[in-house]
Amino acid sequence: MIGSGVFMLPAVLAPYGLLSFGGWLLTGVGSIAIALVLGRLAGRTTRTGGMQVYAQDAFGDMTGFLVAWSYWIGCWISTAAMAIAFVGYFNVLVPGLSDQPAYQALVALGVIWTLTAVSIRGVKEAGFVQLAMTLLKLIPLLLIIGLATAAGNPEYVPPMNPSGDRRWSCCR
């Protein structure tokens, strides 16, 4: 998710200029709040099962069941979204792929099945792949931040509200 969100959202948020940093800040604070809540809930039970168990303990079996199903469906959707994002990035490396929907689907399925095979193989292998993927995402981000800090020019910082949208008139 970090790869698809961090690398794809800047293009979507660029028209909003510096206002987009408020969105990043808000989602960062929200993510930390969710992590703190889940950490607090984990301390209140000895059972394993995550969010399903927390909801079940607080609100009963039906709520726990619905939370488990919602989480499972969310996993289906996020798996598809990540596969599509991967194919979008892969189109840059293999330009002819963008005109071939069947091959794009095969690449997406290949990624899903490769990661599934790694997970089936074991936790240690899945952890290694997760670490490698995280480094492959973080290293370019750190390089870009470092280059921007060292060689960047402040005149290229976008205006606060380049779209001129009146809803953000307080931030002009």
- The tens place of each residue's pLDDT in the chain, 172 residues long, gives 555 666 667 777 777 888 888 877 888 899 899 999 999 999 998 998 889 999 999 999 999 999 999 999 998 998 888 888 889 888 888 988 889 999 999 999 999 999 999 999 999 999 999 999 889 888 988 998 899 889 888 887 777 777 666 665 555 4
In a domain, 118, yes or no: no
In a domain, 93, yes or no: no
In a domain, 19, yes or no: yes
Q: Say which amino acid occupies 68.
A: A
Burial profile 125-160: b = 16 or more Cβ within 10 angstroms, e = fewer: eeeeeeeeeeeebeeeeeeeeeeeeeeeeeeeeeee
In a domain, 91, yes or no: no
Burial profile 91-105: b = 16 or more Cβ within 10 angstroms, e = fewer: beeeeebeeeeeebe
Return the structure tokens found at 107: 């690449």
Instruction: Render 38-89 in DSSP notation, one character per residue.
Output: HHHHHTT-S---THHHHHHHHH-HHHHHHHHHHHHHHHHHHHHHHHHHHHHH
In a domain, 113, yes or no: no
In a domain, 154, yes or no: no
Q: Which domain holds residue 33?
A: 1-44
Model pTM? 0.65
130: phi then psi, degrees, rounded to nearest 5: -60, -45
Q: How far apart are CA 162 and CA 139, in angstroms?
A: 30
Instruction: Work out how many domains the chain is built from and give that number.
Output: 1
Q: How far apart are CA 96 and CA 13, in angstroms?
A: 28
Return the structure tokens found at 42: 């984990």
In the numeric block, the tokens 């996020």 are attached to 78
In a domain, 31, yes or no: yes
In a domain, 110, yes or no: no
